[in-house]
Amino acid sequence: MSEQSFPPQQQQPPGRTDAMDPVPDHGETSYVGHDRLLGRRALITGGDSGIGRATAIAYAREGADVAFTHLPEEKDDAEATRVLIEEAGRTAVVIEADLRDSATCDRVVAETVDALGGLDILVNNAGFQMAREENLEDLTDERIERTITTNLIALFWMSRAAVPHLGPGSVIINNSSIQAFDPSTTLLDYASTKAAINNATVNLAAQLGPRGIRVNAVAPGPIWTPLQPATQTSEKVEKFGQETPLGRAGQPAEVAPAFVFLASERDASYVSGTVLGVTGGKPVF
């Protein structure tokens, strides 16, 4: 197929969905549920936009009630996601939270359990990257700390807080990346966290398996979300995704079904310790 290009554009982190050209497809008009998650209770970090929003829509249409977190700057995107969940006839719990401290992660889980009456699915999706610097010398202490804390340390804090509420048949799903397998030099810190997430996923699956809790990860390739214009140069945005065998970036709606599959006890009851690639053909091994 022909290569896809995007209009050059740039935002400031964390980025807004409605400012993107084109606006991403989260499955608003296309995703059809089949009761795969009926009655389940899910918590998605960073569920206001991008892959998080697409997963929230899919989970709600599959019958789950959904709590999700967002940053203070992401209120408009969070409201749009809330409406989509409620339009599917499910409960939406919207939690403003910056997950870079353990007390906040504990609070998020407690609020979710209180509002939904329990927890069955934890999706560690929230992430931060910045790809506008080329050299190691350009990595500031602040950027390194923000990337590692948001992407990796918060995953441990969230999982630690959630596990006491997860019973047999529950699941943790982590958002990894093609960067764990094919890292870009401009994403040294980000790619390192994603490789660590793969290791943590396999390790947690071994630890929690005897309790009947499955742990898996999804490794997206280049996906058109607000993270891209908010963290890439406009020149890179223009060619975003063209390096994949399919010659284009993916849409959030193309990643959400992987999160549904891994969350479904009906379809994935024997799947744990797996990293599932959704990469446009780029290898995850």
Beta strands in 54-116, from DSSP E residues, in sequence order: 65-70, 92-96
Annotated catalytic, 270? no
Looking up tokens 């994403």, which residue turns up? 187
Phi, psi of 77 (to 5 degrees): -65, -40
Give dist(CA 263, CA 276) in Å, integer. 12
SS3 content of the chain, % helix, strand, coil (to 5): 45, 15, 45
Q: Which of 31, 59, 190, 270 is catalytic?
A: 190
3-state SS, residue 263: helix
Q: Measure CA of the first residue to CA of the last residue in the chain; give whole Å.
A: 25
- How far is C-alpha 235 from the chain's CA centre? 25
| C-alpha span between 193 and 207 (Å, rounded) | 20
Catalytic residue annotation: 190
